[in-house]
Structure 1
Amino acid sequence: MSDQEQEEVIAFLSRAASYGAPDGRVERIDTHGSLVFLHGARAYKLKRAVAYAALDYRRLDSRELACRAELRLNRRTAPDLYLEVRSINRGPDGALRFDGAGPVLDWVVVMRRFPQAALFDNLAVAGHLTDALVDRLGAKIARFHAGAELTPQFGGPEAVRLVIEENHRELCRYPELLDPAAVNALHRAALAALEAQAAELDRRRREGRVRRCHGDLRLANVCLLDGQPTPFDGIEFSDRLSCIDVLHDLAFLLLDLQHHGLDALATRLLQSYLAHAGEPEDCRPLPLFLSLRAATRSFTLACSAGRQRDPALSADKARQARSLLERAAACLRGDGLP
């Protein structure tokens, strides 16, 4: 598929008439690997024809497979949110339409639309995250993990080592924002923590604690749907990123709550998760997993800071990146844990 053809698909999805409406507004949300078009009560998610380190959506068949995998995997936690996969075809008259008989130009995942205010990161900022919501979220994640597919071929100490090294490489790319001495100190501390936890991590892998998880379980990927906390937008494009220790999966949410200054809710989420877990959970690796998530978030924000045109927004993201780098080190010292 040419870039021009995907631009044609984007133009099609940007018009209200494409959805059978004579007029009306189509909103668009751009993400790293997708474009989401909002119209009426539905959201239509198009995979960008791009390639990054962890994904390659340049081929039409790869985008179809990714759409179908996204639908299948995310229905585990959000069956009422993920509706179907639809094709976009070129008709005999040259016009584009959904589910037509002509050649397929692209594929979209169709979802129920929800207000942005329902996202848990926005609820956190607004001060609307409650004990009850966090309790229900912890229980839901525990049940999800208990039923998730076992993936013992992934995880363990070597998988964690790969994350540590990847984090270090990425953090080193931003010496103007992130103190190189602090980055190198974090790398040494993470490797030392890994050595201390290696046997435990391997035991957890062998005993079924590495599963096909969500993979990107942060507040921005949880919404309030029909009154229920609903994780969505799990990773479908990389087994390495989604087939991880269940505590590594949970750690992103715990870190995110702490980053929003909601330490008490982070503690409550962990307590709810442990209370509803299918078996007793040993949390000794949790500080390492929290540190890994903080380091990953740090370099992501550092990258985002460099792309911002608004100086104030860039400065805020840089501040958050430095704060998360400090938190990554603090987690390994045992400071400020849930």
Structure 2
Amino acid sequence: MHQALLPGYIQHLLQPASYLHPVDTVSFIQTHVSYLIFAGAYVYKWKKTVNLGFVDFSTLEKRGYFCEEEVRLNRRLCPDMYLGVVTLCRKGDLFQLEGDGEPIEYGVKMRRLPATLMMDRVIAGSHLTRNHLAKIVDRLVVFYDSVPIVPVASGYGDVHAVARNIRDNFTETSSFVGGKALSEAQFIRIQNFAESFLQNHELFDKRVRQGKVRDCHGDLHSANICLTDEIAIFDCIEFNESLRCTDIAADVAFLAMDLDFHNLLDLSNFFVDRYISCSGDEGLREMLDFYKCYRAYVRGKIGLLTAADQAVGLDEKSAALKMAQHYFQLAEKYTMA
């Protein structure tokens, strides 16, 4: 996209001279809620001024708070990657990163991980192995054992909370129904499948009683995993507790769905079987297709929201819509499993 469409502070940060550490070139990508700037050995993440219902970064105070939360929560799985919160200040007409003027934005500073070891890159190169997935499972089993069980009184993870999140997804995508990515027939079929499964109150209640609703990751897919010697699982959901504090099955289903999306069905099955074997969570399998469908639909929604962003270029819009279409097709398949 043309730089002139970006906020002034982002345009400033795209200049190598804006940094105190060595930077030869600067690159960036954007999502529906953030800008990621790659500068030398570091990555800086800045939250967009948006309120999409499920995420509210509409004020500087909120953006600062959620930057602090992002660092705190992601240090659970990546203690050395998340370096801290940084400020962007302004003196007159000049921006200064970590300066002493008026703070106009807060961001998260991270160590840059090797791009060639990002799981989505490894998948694209057809190099993902069962050994990689076994190491991910080992990391996840320890993580879920270490994070707190969500109190029943919070309501997170019970059938009513799950229903709210799923129905919110349908509401947030209703204006896109009938477009290129999501047909009315798909929307109705997926919605009916979800509503039917949500009638299994006892199944959801059992997962809560068994302590399977935990303070999880919430966004567990291949773009958020780096296959370094010590597996790095980053970019958990910080902006919405109800989306992060969920059944472990919803996290596991997310990565399994992602493997399905890349036509790695054998590896997807291996990942699920390995996780169940190592964790002893046999009940997870009953929830799997439901949460896979939910996760595929969420990824489709993200594609729609990205394509609808006025700051996104035409090529990015086209790619986002195409990916959304594929995710909605996958969500529909789970309704027929």
1:57-78 CA distance string (max 9 Å, x none) = 2322211111110000001111
Shift in Å, 1:213: 1.0
1:126 corresponds to 2:125:
yes
Q: Which residue of 2 aligns with 1:174?
A: 177
Contact 2:32 2:302 in 1 (8 A): no
Which of 188, 192, 195 aligns to 1:191? It is 195
**Residue identity opposite 1:180 in structure 2:** E
Q: In the alignment, is the contact (CA less than 8 A) between 2:177 and 2:187 conserved in 1?
A: no
CA contact (8 A) 1:171 1:298 kept: no
Alignment partner, residue 247 of structure 1? 249
Number of the residue aligned with 2:314: 309
**Amino acid in structure 2 at the alignment position of 1:87:** T
Deviation at residue 9 of structure 1 after TM alignment: 2.8
Equivalent positions of 1:61-80 (< 5 A) are 61-80=61-80
Residue matched to 2:298: 296
> TM-score, with normalisation over the residues of structure 1?
0.86
Matched position secondary structure for 2:76: coil
Counterpart residue type for residue 193 of structure 2: A
Q: Secondary structure at the match of 2:28?
A: strand
- Cα distance in 2 between the residues matched to 1:150 and 1:253: 21
Pairwise CA distance, 1:16: 1.6
| 1: CA distance, partners of 2:56 / 2:290 | 30
Provide closer, same or farther for how the CA distance between residues 88 and 221 of structure 1 changes in structure 2, counting only shifts above 3 A: same
Residue 201 in 1 paired to residue 172 in 2?
no
Q: 1:53 & 1:261 partners in 2: Cα distance?
A: 32
List runs of 5+ in structure 2 lacking aligned partners: 1-5
CA distance in 2, matches of 1:101, 1:324: 45
**Cα deviation code 1:218-254 (max 9, x no counterpart):** 11111223x2321111110101111111101111100
Identity of aligned residues (%): 30
Deviation at 1:292, TM superposition (A): 1.1
Q: In structure 2, the residue corresponding to 1:270 is in which secondary structure? A: helix
Distance in 2 between residues matched to 1:143 and 1:157, nearest whole Å = 26
How has the CA–CA distance of structure 1 residues 256 and 126 changed in structure 2, closer, same or farther, with 3 Å as cutoff? same
Please name the residue that 2:18 is paired with: 18
Distance 1:285 1:213 in 2: 16
The residue number in structure 1 matching 2:162 is 160
Amino acid at match of 1:159: A
Return the alpha-carbon distance in structure 1 between the equivalents of residues 103 and 327 of structure 2.
44
- Which stretch has the larger CA shift, 275-284 or 175-184? 275-284
Q: Name the residue aligned to 1:107.
A: 106
Deviation per residue, 1:289-314 (Å, 9 max, x gap): 11111222233335556777249x83
2:232 & 2:77 partners in 1: Cα distance?
A: 6
Q: Which amino acid aligns with 1:105?
A: I
What are structure 1's unaligned runs of at least 5 residues?
1-5
Distance 2:94 2:194 in 1: 55
CA RMSD of aligned residues (A): 2.7
> Using the alignment, how far apart are the partners of 1:167 and 1:175 within structure 2?
16
Number of residue equivalences: 325
* Range with greater deviation from structure 2 (247-256 or 265-274): 265-274
Deviation of 1:198 (Å)? 1.6
Tell whether the 8 Å contact from 1:217 to 1:234 is kept in structure 2 after alignment. yes
Residue in 1 aligned with 2:3?
none
AA aligned opposite 1:193:
F
CA separation in 1, counterparts of 2:192 and 2:23?
Answer: 58
Question: What TM-score do you get using the length of structure 2 for normalisation?
Answer: 0.86
For 1:299 and 1:46, the matched residues in 2 are separated by 21
Does the CA contact (< 8 Å) of 2:23 and 2:39 recur in 1? Answer: no
Which residue number corresponds to residue 142 of structure 1? 141
Contact 2:69 2:238 in 1 (8 A): yes
Mapped contact 2:165–2:243 kept (Cα < 8 A): no
Are the counterparts in 2 of residues 194 and 288 from structure 1 also a CA contact under 8 Å?
Answer: no
